[in-house]
Amino acid sequence: MALVDTSVKPIRRIAGVFASARCLRPGGRKRGDARAPSPRDDWRIDQLPKKSPSQYFLLNLFLAVVVALVFGIGSAYLAVDRGRLFGEVRLGQWTTYPTAGTPDADPYSAATTARTGQIPLGKGEGMAFFADRDNAGNRLEPNCDYRLVGQTPPGHLWTLTATDAHGHLLQTDAERDVLDSRDIVRRDNGDFDITVAKNARPGNWLPIGGNQPLTLVLKLYDTPLTTGSGLAEIAMPEIIKGTCR
């Protein structure tokens, strides 16, 4: 009955029997009469096919440390590499990060600022807005034309540029890469209509280039928005997709 049982105790007992049997084997080498079945023999026969508890401990510890390092460092890298995570304010298709690049920034934002060496706009200088999708939610593509229609929030001056996803300016075939509020032709009600396209367009035209998805950057200088007046109700230009090639 004990032989069929797989619990540890009977096996241990059998092992004990083996051990004592070996000791008492006739003609076997005797190391003195004091050689009795010791717990060491017992352990050896009992545990040999399995791993020892300390080996399990080390294996588990190793696994846990590997998981901790891969998960910890990997997730930290992704979080910092993918850009701003928190503190964003969305206005239509435009996003701004009021605390980024200030001592009030969250740790992720501070890490991104440090790693990229970006130079943010101070609160007393202005505010930058970013857009990488059109009003239908599609990623902005360099092979498409886009129209920016509407108004900007109040400010002394604004500039519009196109960058790649990492904030680098796009190479354009035109001689310029920026459009500013002083160059703009407006309608009677103050609205403007800007075309963002690779090839020259009549009216307000922002040249773009390259073949990577793009981000539009609207920098609004000397604006009352930065001094804490509500960001919620302001109007930003709508980004409408035109024809694509």
Partner 1 sequence: MIRTILWLIGGLMLGGIIHIIAVILVPYFTTEDAWARVARFGPDAQFNVLPEVKPGAEPLPMLDPAMAHAVCRFSLDDGPIRLNATIPYTFWSFSLFNERGETTYSFNDRTSGEGKLAMLALTSSQLSMLRENPPDDLESLIVIETEDNHAFALLRAFIPDKRREKDIDAALAKAKCTLLKI
Cβ neighbors of 82 (< 8 A, separation 6 or more) are none
The region of 31-39, 41-49, 170-178, 192-200 touching partner 1 under the rule CB under 8 A is 170-178
Residue in the structure block whose two tokens are 């032989």: 3
Confirm or reject binding of residue 186 to partner 1 (CB under 8 A). Answer: no
Considering only residues 51-110, where is the footprint of partner 1 by CB under 8 A?
A: 56, 60-61, 63-73, 75-77, 79-80, 101-103, 105, 107-108, 110
Confirm or reject binding of residue 116 to partner 1 (CB under 8 A). Answer: yes
**Residue 24 Cβ, how far from partner 1 at the closest point, in Å?**
39
Burial of 15 from C-beta contacts in 10 A (0-12 / 13-18 / 19+): buried
Q: How far is 88 from 127, CA to CA, in rounded Å?
A: 12
Residue in the structure block whose two tokens are 């605390």: 99
**Residue 223 Cβ, how far from partner 1 at the closest point, in Å?**
10
Angle between helices 53-81 and 107-116 (to 10 degrees): 70
Radius of gyration of the chain (CA): 36
**Residue 20 Cβ, how far from partner 1 at the closest point, in Å?**
33
The residue among 19 and 237 lying less far from partner 1, judged by its C-beta, is 237
The residue among 2 and 64 lying less far from partner 1, judged by its C-beta, is 64
